[in-house]
Amino acid sequence: VVMAATRSVMRAVRVFEFGGPEVLKLQSDVLVPVPKENQVLIKVHACGVNPVETYIRSGTYARKPALPYTPGSDVAGVIESVGEHVTAFKKGDRVFTLETLSGGYAEYAVAAANRVFPLPDKLDFRQGAAIGVPYFTAYRALFQKGCAKAGESVLVHGASGGVGLAACQIARASGLKVLGTAGTEEGMNVILRNGAHQAFNHRDPNYIERIKACTGPGGVDIIIEMLSNVNLDADLQLLSCAGRVMVVGCRGRIEINPRDTMSKESSIVGVSLFLATEEERHECATAVLDGIEAGWLKPVVGLEYPLEKVAKAHEDIICSSGARGKMVLIL
């Protein structure tokens, strides 16, 4: 009982009702969670912000957490304590996570030990917070669902955000021909520096024709699609025979002509990291850690916000005019 009375408190973002960014409430009296068996407690230095977190917060997403909850899954920080049976980590280890149990928009977060990975010294905490969801999603889209092979071509549609840049780096390192789109000159430069062989501005009215001119009559083998509600119809025109569109992001409905898939026997495949099996997650983790070790996996950090500005971060990730890397909260 005495222990409970002295448990320390922390600052954390809490959501008490679904809605707009204004429902994100920063509280300073949230109890620091205690790791149970096979769990670790992490002192959070940075936490990634992902578009999916805005959909969950709004209440429109398929998965609804029980209220109140703290958003956030990609944290990077230092192990504060470990629960029973945890042997892989000890207090003081630098780590990053794929997901947390207590929520990442907080000073401390609990995570299952098998969702936590060592953060090498060559990456800082901001970069560590940009690894989990983006790189695991990009790897899953390209290989586990997209069956990408060296020598094939990939178009990353919306390549300057977290998942897009991850896809460019992974695809380039794996021997694919990489094309990317972005909405600004700066975004195009970022993707060219991070693995794309060619960049196109998706605000240019003729950009689809330019991509076609670049790929020739063969078309593109794989499209990694971040905004399928806008681009899916055009994507089907760009594909090669047996080409596939990997739907990573979507914000609404779109009309397509299914005949476009028949003429090329192309496919549209949805991608959800939440549905990955333990084995598939392990495969993603191995690829990601190998990439860090080899030096080609270098997360690009974009806009940074303090925890107090979390509502602004949620607004900007949906409404800003062009991403340049992974958005992170800094603690």
Residues 179, 162 share a domain:
yes
With bands split at pLDDT 50, 70 and 90, how would you rate the model's confidence at 320?
confident
The pLDDT, as a whole number, for residue 324 is: 86
Residue 106 lies in domain: 9-130+299-330
Of 319, 317, 292, 312, residue with least CA distance to 302:
317
Token pair in block for residue 310 = 């979390």
Q: What is the CATH number of the domain that holds 56?
A: 3.90.180.10
Q: What integer best gives the mean pLDDT of the chain?
A: 96
Query: Are residues 261 and 146 located together in one domain of the fold?
Result: yes
Residue 62 has what pLDDT?
87
Size of the chain, expressed as the number of residues it contains:
331
Averaged over 164-177, what is the pLDDT? 98
Q: Could you read off the pLDDT of 136-167 as tens digits, one per residue?
A: 999 999 999 999 999 999 999 999 999 999 99
Q: Do residue 102 and residue 155 come from a single domain?
A: no
What are the two backbone dihedrals, phi and then psi, of residue 181, each rounded to the nearest 5 degrees?
A: -120, 150
In a domain, 81, yes or no: yes
Stretch 4-18: mean pLDDT:
88
CATH number for the domain spanning 190: value is 3.40.50.720
For the chain, percent of residues with pLDDT exceeding 90? 94
Please tell me the predicted confidence (pLDDT) of residue 6. Answer: 65
Q: pLDDT tens across 236-275, in order? A: 999 999 999 999 999 999 999 999 999 999 999 999 999 9
* Each residue's pLDDT tens digit, 15-42: 999 999 999 999 999 999 999 999 999 9
Whether residue 49 sits in one domain with residue 17: yes
Alpha carbons 263 and 43: distance in angstroms, whole number:
53
